[in-house]
Amino acid sequence: MATTLIGFVITGTGRCGTGYAAEVLSSAGIACGHEEVFGPEGGMEKARSSDASQGDSSWLAIEYLDALRLERVPIINLVRHPVAVVNSLVGMRFWSEDEHEPHRSIAGALLARLGFESTGNDVADSVEWVGRVMETIALYAKPYRIDRSNIVNLVQHETGIDPTREPAEIPANFNQRSRAAFSPMQLSRTSGWKRLLEQGNANGYRMDV
């Protein structure tokens, strides 16, 4: 049976704008779901039965980066200031609250494959997660910071899929959750700080301690 392959994938650390990107693109007439293809129950099988004009925006695509690159699916790597991502993950208690299952278990398994066993400590695990995931995705795709205009232009450039209308004014905080307020100085006491610092510096973010 012939298959069609998904047109593009947007991914990142989580809490980095994947939901926002999907909303903006959809408002511009570019079909893009949020964790609809690469969700807890998704994967490459679902990607291979998607439409070439459709994309998915999901941190859960991290697990399939090798397969996506092998099949030449455009991968767009979204980045946000790593300290902000850590504070977002800590604020929502991602690693310790059962409400975040099954995403938490998937992230824990991915973190183990990247060389770190989850401790259940929200701060330490979040620092490790963000640093290691940013480092990994950068091996597959150039990182981009996004805003309302450039995500549409970026997808158009990478895929040739044209928007059909101007993107809507989606509030940047439309998916906002509780957020912690750890400073770089406080995070620098964790074992994963060195990698987080390197990734922040590599992406042009101020990481002053």
CATH number of 107's domain: 3.40.50
Cβ pair 127, 203 in contact under 8 A: no
| 155 falls within a domain | yes
Q: Cβ distance 43 to 64 under 8 Å?
A: yes
For residue range 183-208, list pLDDT tens digits in order: 999 999 999 999 999 999 999 999 98
Q: Find the domain containing 56 and state its range.
A: 8-202
Segment 14-37 mean pLDDT: 96
Whether the per-residue pLDDT at 1 is higher than 50: the answer is: no
pLDDT mean across residues, the chain? 93
CA distance 31 to 7: 10
pLDDT average, residue stretch 116-134: 94
Q: Is residue 2 part of a domain?
A: no
104 within a domain of the structure (yes/no): yes
Mean pLDDT of 27-47: 95
In a domain? residue 1 = no
Q: With respect to residue 207, please indicate whether it lies within any of the assigned structural domains.
A: no
Measured between alpha carbons, how far is residue 149 from residues 21, 89, 173 in Å?
A: 10, 26, 16
Q: Establish if 209 belongs to a structural domain.
A: no
Does residue 208 sit within a domain? no
Give the model confidence (pLDDT) of 130-159 as tens digits.
999 999 999 999 999 887 778 999 999 999
Contact 52, 4 (CB under 8 A): yes
Measured distance CA(156)–CA(185) in Å, rounded: 39
At 9, which helix (H) or strand (E)? strand 8-11
Closest of 180, 202, 73 to residue 131, by C-alpha: 202
Give domain status of residue 47, yes or no. Answer: yes
Q: How many domains, in total, are found in the chain?
A: 1
